[in-house]
Amino acid sequence: MTTDQVNKGQELSELSDNLSRIEALSKRLANIMAHRKPVRPNLQGPGQEFYTKTAGTIWADMMANPSKLFEHQVAFWGKTLEHAIEAQAALASGEFKAPEDTGPKDRRFSNPLWDSHPYYNYLKQQYQITSQTMEEALKSVDGLDSDDTKRLEFFTHQIIDMMSPTNFLATNPDAMELAVETNGQSLVKGLENLIADLEANDGELLVKLVDESAFEVGKNIATTPGQVVYRNRMMELIQYAPTTEKVHATPLIIFPPWINKFYIMDLKEQNSLIKWIVDQGYTLFVVSWVNPDASYADVGMGDYIEEGYLAAIREVKAITGQKKVNAIGYCIAGTTLSLTLSLMKKRGDKSVNSATFFTTLTDFSDQGEVGVFLDDDFVGGIEEEVNERGYLDSFFMSRTFSYLRPNDLIYGPAINSYMLGKTPPAFDLLYWNGDSTNLPAKMTVEYLRGLCQGNRFAQGDFELLDEHLSIADVDVPLCAIACETDHIAAWKSSYDGMRQMGSKDKTFIVSQSGHIAGIINPPSKKKYGHYTNDDWPAASDDWMEGATFNEGSWWGRWEAWLSKRSGKQIDARDIGDSSQKPLAPAPGTYVVAKPNT
């Protein structure tokens, strides 16, 4: 028997074994799907009312303007026919090649076969023709209000992205080539990855984006030295060890969002905002929120304020012996910081000397891209879910934000993991992104109904803790940093809210990039610049029109602003005081604890 015959026999044996494993894994997959925990229909897509209203409007528009439909159809048929004739002509030439491809470039179709192979090229071009037709049809729909138009465009694009030929095994050349090359081993590994992700989420698909085994909180991420100096049921308060001989007298507290964990600001030494702040000579405290379970069902925004914000401010004042603190709020924690400042104004509490807001919304009249999920159909489904379970599982928030960038956060990773059988990358940012938290039932409803939908804080009447809170009551010196391409907290909406605050000392900065990269932007990287403008015109576009672009990170500019409001230089403080001994080393226990679900 020749060497080639031996090798061929081994390959056939490997292929047979892998096909048997695929069959066994497929049965396991079918069993998982059969026992999949049902999810409320109104958490899976828009409500029936939206479909009915949209379909009715499109039908009425078609009846009133039938020529529009005919124009779209004729154009689609014409392009499709022309494409088919070109493909046939290329094959009739006697060469196995695709016709000239003048379509748009798309990184999903980076394999050379999409351009050179007649089959794959035909699929790609037809997909692009169909997608273009759908997008043009969307633009011509009349009769829908702006919110419904945004939703129609968003969910139509979800369908367009989902139906890309790259998302299916038989029409993905990368997957088919690798399957042949590995005698089916890539498909076995891909099925194993798929089953593992489904089992981790009770049969719901949430694509794992990162190799979780590569990271451990407190070991190779979130490693800036510090100690937990206070703990209650809502949060742990971490004080970080000084790295300078002198520090500013006024301490600084960071309130991170409780939708995610605080260590986005402390992933590694090179890009740690926490370490950078400490290195600038500040006594820094950071709140680490508890990951709630059903026992927190009755915890609302007021509890986060009383047992989180006000408790942290009280403890920091006691530990440092200062009458005032400076505070930072990130995302929803910035929204809640603004509520806290309004409440403190009502109560005559002047403990906060200045406030900084990272990517913070306080005026929700323009909800941005996330607004497609804030109509009554989705919010009603969330309300039903939390009333039954006592909390909103982190799965729903993770999935929602993933659909804002589906090709990057769903389909691309799914192709790599399930079709190519690859292990997800070891990327610290994606590890943090997957380490999300639950939300208490009462707080979730208050936030969605009262703030996002009702916009009551911006309207001056958000009722909380026996007070009517108003955005106009926020009158401490403030600095707000928004991000130019933020798809969660649009910079224009952030500007509108900050402009309405009552402070006479306001600074607004727009960083390049998005919700995370625009904030975690260390000066050493020299990557993203920022815009500044001392004026506050009524329109955000006018602010940007008159803004100055500055190279490099905003961190140094903000620190110069903060230092002027942080008092004199004093000897660096030890961690804790005589009444508050350290309870645990940073990053604490809450950040790694798993809730009882």
Q: Which residues are catalytic?
A: 331
Spatial contact of 285 and 312, defined as CB atoms under 8 Å apart: yes
Token pair of 96, please?
């196995």
With H, G, I as helix, E, B as strand and everything else as coil, classify residue 569.
strand
Residue 407: both structure tokens together: 């090709």
Q: What distance in Å separates the CA atoms of residue 73 and residue 289, rounded to the nearest whole number?
A: 54
Task: Tell which residue, 153, 171, 158, has the closest CA to residue 109.
Answer: 171
Torsions phi, psi for 437 (to 5 deg):
-125, 165
Looking at the DSSP bridge assignments, the partners of residue 330 are: 358
Q: How far is CA 193 from CA 185, 209, 339, 369, in A?
A: 12, 11, 44, 31
Query: Which residue spans within 304-444 are E strands per DSSP?
Result: 325-330, 352-358, 391-392, 439-440
**Phi and psi based region of residue 339 (left: phi greater than 0; alpha: psi -120 to 50; beta: remaining):** alpha
User: Among all chains, which residue has been given the structure tokens 């059903």?
Assistant: 294
Q: How many CB atoms lie within 10 A of CB 407?
A: 17
Closest CA to 279 of 256, 252, 300, 299: 252
Q: Is residue 548 within 8 Å of residue 232, measured between CB atoms?
A: no
DSSP codes, 310-348: IHHHHHHHHHHT-S-EEEEEETHHHHHHHHHHHHHHHHT
CA–CA distance, 99 with 92 (Å, rounded to integer): 11
- Could you tell me whether strands 252-255 and 284-289 are parallel, antiparallel, or unpaired per DSSP bridges? parallel
Angle at which helix 118-139 crosses helix 146-162, to 10 degrees, equals 170
CA-to-CA distance for 276 and 266, rounded, in angstroms? 9
Tokens of 211: 């190799």
Q: Rg (Cα) of the chain, in Å, rounded?
A: 27
CA–CA dist 160, 499 (Å, integer) = 38
Burial of 190: CB neighbours in 10 Å, binned 0-12, 13-18, 19+: buried
The neighbouring-strand residues paired with 253 are: 285, 327
Going by C-beta distance under 8 Å and a sequence separation of 6 or more, which residues neighbour residue 56? none
DSSP-derived pairing of the beta strands 478-483 and 506-511: parallel
Residue 285 tokens read as 């405290």
State the DSSP H helix or E strand holding residue 175, giving kind and residue range, or none if neither: helix 173-181
Query: Given the structure tokens 């192979």, which residue do they identify?
Result: 117
Which residues pair with residue 531 across a beta bridge?
Answer: 510, 549
Q: Could you tell me the CA-to-CA distances from 450 to 112, 146, 364, 446 in Å, in that order?
A: 52, 22, 10, 5
Q: Hey, how many other C-beta atoms are within 10 angstroms of the C-beta on 27?
A: 10
